Structure 1
């Protein structure tokens, strides 16, 4: 079984670890993947986008 690649990001004091093959893609490949998946109506991706947007909105109101 192959290990899923991961990448760690810091936003303020929060560490975010992304476990996904997306971290090995170029920016253009990721852009195309997101565009395609959103057009297909990927429900998980839509929920992630909604959650991320809610976090940014909440952060801007503080």
Structure 2
């Protein structure tokens, strides 16, 4: 009975940092994905602006 109670008292402090770490990792992945999308859009915009004057007479 006492060991069960000890397990329960030890488990939440261990799982909270793990959950926060998982949340941070997922947030970082989402932000890096959005950042790469933004940079790709900027690069394509720049290339479009650079190639448009050459294409138009």
Common fold by TM > 0.5: no
Greater RCO, 1 or 2 (C-alpha within 8 Å, sep 6+) = 1
Higher percent of residues as helix: 2
- For this structure pair, what is the TM-score category when the shorter chain's length is used for normalisation? 0.3 to 0.5
Higher percent of residues as strand: 1
TM score, norm. by length of structure 1:
0.34
Higher Cα Rg: structure 1 or 2? 2
TM score, norm. by length of structure 2:
0.37
